[in-house]
Amino acid sequence: MFTPEELMAVEPAAFATAVAAAPDHELAEGMATEFRVIVLDEVFRRMEAHFEPKRSKKLNIVIQFHLTGSHDGNVDVYQVIIRDDRCATGKELTEPAKLTLRLDAVDFLKLATNNEKGMDLYIKGRLKVDGNLILATRLQGLFLIPDADSAAPAPPATTASAATDSAPAAGTPAPAAPASATTSTSPAASAPAPQSATPTPGAGDLGTGPDESKEQMQDA
């Protein structure tokens, strides 16, 4: 099991590959342990580095992620504040949230690493949204999120901790990608991802470009 310092050294694309390779039950087992907090803290820390101000269109919003699936049944709550072309994350709930996302921590990891799309999670009932749904399904588009395709193939994880130990988004619901990585845009928090960057939860797809959602996000 990694220390926080070791986890910080893991490349974002490698983490995305580990999440993609691990079966859901192994991810769930790993995210039900004390290691869960280390992973989530690092994913949300990296969201600040992956934030793309040009895509935010002067968005001003406070987002809260409520992440379930812990071993003690408690819910981990993180706040993401996007304002003045900056993104700040943390556990201190300093302001009232205008948008609240509720999902399992495993789904959040998938969202933050582009292994799942916000709209798909919402349709499946695995993402609960309190607030602007259009904005919620496009959050990933505000971040440059490395995905599994931008990393060299990694061996499949064999244990719950293997998947989480091999790296950390999002997002997510996001770690900084190596210079050699390619980026693509795809459709979360969160956010726990990380250069092929993809945007987040367009019309029905988190990958819709920010220009198409300009009016919705400003209205939020």
Alpha carbon separation from 83 to 49, 52, 57, 176 (Å, rounded):
15, 12, 10, 20
Say which residue the tokens 């999120």 belong to: 145
* Buried residues in 121-136 as b, exposed as e (16+ CB within 10 A): bbeeebbebebbbbbb
DSSP 8-state class, residue 22: S
**What are 90's two structure tokens?**
């943390």
3-state secondary structure of 189: coil
3-state secondary structure of 177: coil
Q: What is the pLDDT of residue 134?
A: 86
Beta bridge partners of 82: 61, 87
Q: What is the pLDDT of residue 151?
A: 53
* Segments of the chain with pLDDT less than 50: 1, 153-220
Task: Select from 47, 16, 17 the least CA-distant residue to 188.
Answer: 47
- Strand stretches in 52-106, DSSP E: 61-68, 76-83, 86-90, 99-104
Helix segments in 95-206, DSSP class H: 105-112, 118-123, 133-136, 160-165
Q: What is the pLDDT of residue 100?
A: 97
Q: What is the pLDDT of residue 3?
A: 62
Contact 192, 114 (CB under 8 A): no
Say which residue the tokens 């770690």 belong to: 175
Q: What is the pLDDT of residue 193?
A: 40
Phi, psi at 77, each rounded to 5°: -115, 130
Q: What is the pLDDT of residue 35?
A: 87
* Radius of gyration of the chain measured on its C-alpha atoms: 15
Domain 4-219 has CATH 3.30.1050.10: yes
Q: What is the pLDDT of residue 130?
A: 96
